[in-house]
Amino acid sequence: MKFSINKTEFLNALGIAGKGIASRSTIPILSGVYIKTLGTSLELKGTDSERAIRCTVSALIDEDGECVVPERLLYDIVKSFPDAAITMEVDETQALISCDKTSFTLKVFDPADFPAFPDIDVNTKASISFKAFSQAVKRVAKVASKDQGRPALTGVLITTIPDGMRLVATDSYRLAMDDIPCENPTEGFEALVSGSFMQEVASLPEKEESIEICLSSNHVVFTYGSIVFINRRIEARFPNYQQLLTDSYTTRTEFETAGILAAVRRVGLMSSLSAPIKFDIESSTATALLSTVSQDMGSAEESLSCDVEGENIEIALNHQYVVDGLSSIPTDKVFLETRTSMMPGIFRAQDPERFLYLLMPVRI
């Protein structure tokens, strides 16, 4: 096997295939990237037995073949090369990678031992704008829990609604939801998918207009141009989030998004990450007083002008969670909808965006 390839394109392909490879594996070959010649292209594959990723990249093929090379080391080697053509020549025991006046020799795995790429029999498909999908994932998936003991909370629920697709995630303390408009959404489309995996998909460079999402009974398949991501669906039941959402409120407060985010960050300097910030909203003066108290350090407060509809209210929310939510608001204005001090507060983006961020209150 022998080929030549542009450094940047090879590095990008290795980075994509590497998203499917576990950082630590007890099976040595799963630390490797599978590379095979396909006409005028290379096919690269990575897997950790739970997920699998495949992509193709153009190359000048001198000799057909296949190999499995340690991915992390190969990536670092390619990254270290100057911006010039890279040549890779492989035999049964080693790979010679050279660029300009530098060369490396790496031991290789037997490609016959590499797991076959899953052949998934899909039963449901949906296609959506990749840009809109990527933006929604970045807003929602970061809310998913990292606690593997509660698998349902580590995922993002993907489901169709009458006029689009909905993404929802929660860690039980907060919830993020984004609706993506699309034409002719697929009925009955629903899957719970790893939040970290969704973030890997969303991090792909924006080159194609749409991404196709396919479901089987056990897997979800994302196809984006020549890139295929496969992961097992999470079988746990996602919480009934809709019971928390309501269009009714006793107070609706409109803020400038940049202004309230900056104020929360300033006041939060006086608190630890887990300390709450109290919102004291006065309709008669159209102001919101943000305050926090630290027994060890002191206190801070800031008054913000705002538009208030409804009753006065005091509600305390986790400082860092508020920052995370407001950082995801894609509009210049944001609305905080509240009912009582002990019921969830909901931050909503301005129309036409349909992103919302729900926070459980903190008792003070």
Q: Are residues 253 and 353 in the same domain?
A: yes
Three-state secondary-structure class, residue 120 = coil
Give whole-number Cα distances, 99 to 44, 78, 94, 329, 337, in Å: 20, 9, 17, 45, 59
Q: Report whether pLDDT(111) > 80.
A: yes
Per DSSP, 241 falls in state G
Q: Can you give the pLDDT at residue 260? A: 98
61, 82, 113 - which closes a domain: 113
Q: Are residues 209 and 295 in the same domain?
A: no
Q: Are residues 338 and 290 in the same domain?
A: yes
Q: How confident is the model at residue 70 (pLDDT cuts 50, 70, 90)?
A: very high
For residue 72, give its domain range. Answer: 2-113
Q: Can you give the pLDDT at residue 272? A: 67
In residues, how long is the chain? 364
In whole angstroms, what separates CA 349 from the centre of its chain?
Answer: 19
Mean pLDDT of the chain: 94
Residue 364 lies in a domain: no
Q: Are residues 226 and 302 in the same domain?
A: no
Per DSSP, 185 falls in state P
Q: Report whether pLDDT(83) > 90.
A: yes
Q: Can you give the pLDDT at residue 246? A: 85
Dist CA 356 CA 349 (whole Å) = 6
Residue 118 lies in a domain: no
Q: How confident is the model at residue 295 (pLDDT cuts 50, 70, 90)?
A: confident
Q: Are residues 189 and 228 in the same domain?
A: yes
Q: Can you give the pLDDT at residue 21? A: 93
DSSP H/E element including 87: strand 85-90
pLDDT digits (tens, 9 = 90+) for 12-64: 999 999 999 988 888 999 999 999 999 999 999 999 988 999 999 999 999 99
Dist CA 277 CA 132 (whole Å) = 32
Q: Are residues 143 and 59 in the same domain?
A: no
Q: Report whether pLDDT(338) > 70.
A: yes
Q: How confident is the model at residue 249 (pLDDT cuts 50, 70, 90)?
A: very high
Residue 190 lies in a domain: yes
Please tell me the least confidently modeled range out of 3-7, 183-187, 223-227, 270-274.
270-274
198, 232, 266 - which closes a domain: 232
Q: How confident is the model at residue 325 (pLDDT cuts 50, 70, 90)?
A: very high
Q: Can you give the pLDDT at residue 182? A: 86
Q: Can you give the pLDDT at residue 230? A: 97
Mean pLDDT of 328-355: 96
Structural domains in the chain (count): 3
Q: Are residues 329 and 282 in the same domain?
A: yes
> What's the pTM value of the predicted model, to 2 decimals?
0.91
Q: Are residues 214 and 296 in the same domain?
A: no
Residue 333 lies in a domain: yes
Q: Are residues 269 and 312 in the same domain?
A: yes
CATH code of the domain containing 221:
3.10.150.10
Residues 6+ apart with CB under 8 A from 316: 276, 277, 278, 279, 341, 361, 362, 363, 364
Q: Can you give the pLDDT at residue 273? A: 59
Q: Can you give the pLDDT at residue 24? A: 80
Q: Are residues 21 and 97 in the same domain?
A: yes
Q: Report whether pLDDT(167) > 90.
A: yes
Residue 322 lies in a domain: yes
**What percent of the chain stands above pLDDT 70?**
99
Dist CA 236 CA 306 (whole Å) = 42
Residue 237 lies in a domain: no
62, 94, 113 - which closes a domain: 113
Q: Report whether pLDDT(183) > 90.
A: no
Q: How confident is the model at residue 207 (pLDDT cuts 50, 70, 90)?
A: confident
Q: Are residues 95 and 184 in the same domain?
A: no
Dist CA 155 CA 141 (whole Å) = 8
Q: Can the peptide bond before residue 185 be classed as cis, meaning omega within 30 degrees of 0?
A: no
Per DSSP, 13 falls in state H
Q: Are residues 82 and 108 in the same domain?
A: yes
In this structure, what are the phi and psi dihedrals at residue 300, rounded to the nearest 5 degrees? -150, 150
Three-state secondary-structure class, residue 112 = helix
Residue whose pair of structure tokens reads 């090879």 in the numeric block:
10
316 strand-pairing partners: 278
Q: Can you give the pLDDT at residue 274? A: 61
Within 10 Å of residue 44's Cβ, how many Cβ atoms? 24
Dist CA 112 CA 110 (whole Å) = 5
Residue 164 lies in a domain: yes
Dist CA 141 CA 318 (whole Å) = 19
Residue 81 lies in a domain: yes
